[in-house]
């Protein structure tokens, strides 16, 4: 018995001399964004693949818009017919005055077409992230002004016509306005069938595929935007008083670059039981506080297990 004690004594002395290695476990977590269309429909085409890096404004997928496109074509036909009826009704009356008003109306319509085409271009460029919102607002204001000018010229044509036809022209003007409003509504609605990337980042997962249904509550992709990664750290209950937001810890993993560190941004006010993901032989505390931190420098991939130590 004495001999066994003598043999164990060096091991006990060596164990007592070991320097503890205080560290915390955690991982890199992504702030993902689910990409879903604003309207429900069947996915017609998908332009990107899982694992692909995309830029802000890139088109991701399109829904089948054939039915709504037909409705838009019908609305444009109604607008064209109403305009033709208005032009025919406005042909009578005092010819010189009516002709002058019609010339002004034709000029206003040309300006309206130009403003509308410019607005369509600006909407597309804005959706792709090429032009700022202010440029789109200017185009919308110019289109609204052109529409108002056309409406004003129609009224002048009405005034230049015979009083006996005034009510008819007013009715046709209202019909044209209604057809124009319907066309504008359908154009805006159809734009929602093409979904663009809200930010640059990685297509982390594809959830739905061509031919499947998608909608506001049925996302198609899960996107990890650039810089949308943070560290999750589990701090034992006994050591939580040593840390506060703004403190810095070093971080390490198998594939991490040297010198990686994180800065604490928040600590949960209440502890929780140690999650299974951080169970280890030397981390057996029952209660831990979940903390989050921002990376300083290179960022590891999402889901990477990390070890954190006081600097």
Q: Domains along the chain?
A: 20-30+226-310 (2.40.30.170), 33-63+195-225 (2.40.50.100), 66-192 (no CATH)
Q: What pLDDT score was predicted for residue 248? A: 93
pLDDT of residue 34: 93
Q: 0.75 cut: is pTM over it?
A: no
- The pLDDT of residue 187 is 82
Which pLDDT score is estimated for 284? 54
Q: What is the pLDDT along the chain (311 residues), one digit of tens a residue?
A: 333 333 333 434 444 444 456 788 999 998 899 999 988 888 989 999 998 999 998 999 999 888 777 888 888 888 888 888 787 776 655 566 667 778 888 888 888 888 888 888 888 888 877 878 888 788 888 888 888 888 888 877 776 655 446 677 778 888 888 888 888 888 878 888 889 999 999 998 999 999 999 999 999 999 999 888 899 999 988 888 889 999 999 999 888 878 889 999 999 988 887 665 555 545 555 788 999 999 987 888 888 899 999 88
Residue with tokens 């369509």: 120
Helix axes 66-89, 166-191, angle to 10 degrees: 160
pLDDT at 55 (0 to 100):
93
Measured distance CA(124)–CA(131) in Å, rounded? 9
- Give me the pLDDT at residue 123, please: 84
Strand-strand pairing, 213-214 and 201-206: unpaired
Specify the pLDDT at position 209. Answer: 94
How many whole angstroms separate alpha carbon 288 and alpha carbon 24? 10
Per-residue confidence (pLDDT) for residue 142, from 0 to 100: 85
């Amino acid at each position: 018995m004495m001999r066994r004690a003598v043999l164990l004594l060096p091991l006990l002395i060596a164990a007592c001399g070991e320097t503890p290695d205080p560290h915390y476990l955690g991982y890199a977590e992504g702030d993902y964004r689910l990409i879903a269309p604003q309207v429900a429909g069947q996915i017609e085409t998908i332009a990107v693949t899982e694992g692909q890096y995309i830029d802000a404004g890139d088109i991701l997928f399109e829904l089948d818009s054939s039915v709504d496109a037909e409705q838009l074509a019908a609305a444009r036909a109604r607008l064209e017919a109403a305009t033709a009826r208005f032009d025919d009704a406005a042909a009578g009356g005092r010819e010189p005055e009516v002709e002058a008003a019609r010339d002004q109306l034709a000029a206003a319509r040309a300006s309206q077409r130009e403003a509308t085409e410019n607005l369509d271009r600006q909407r597309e460029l804005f959706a792709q992230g090429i032009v700022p919102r202010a440029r789109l607002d200017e185009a919308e204001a110019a289109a609204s002004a052109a529409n108002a000018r056309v409406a004003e010229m129609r009224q002048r044509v009405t005034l230049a016509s015979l009083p006996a036809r005034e009510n008819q022209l007013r009715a046709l003007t209202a019909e044209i306005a209604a057809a124009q409003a319907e066309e504008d509504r359908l154009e805006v609605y159809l734009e929602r069938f093409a979904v663009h990337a809200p930010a640059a980042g990685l297509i982390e997962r594809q959830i739905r595929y061509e031919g499947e249904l998608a909608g506001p509550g049925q996302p198609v992709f899960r996107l990890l935007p650039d810089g949308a990664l943070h560290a999750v750290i589990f701090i034992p209950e006994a050591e939580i008083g040593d840390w506060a937001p703004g403190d810095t810890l070093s971080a390490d993993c198998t594939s991490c670059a040297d010198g990686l560190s994180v800065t604490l941004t928040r600590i949960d006010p209440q502890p929780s039981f140690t999650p299974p993901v951080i169970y280890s032989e030397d981390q057996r505390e029952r209660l831990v506080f979940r903390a989050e931190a921002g990376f300083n420098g290179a960022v590891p991939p999402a889901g990477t297990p990390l070890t954190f130590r006081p600097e």
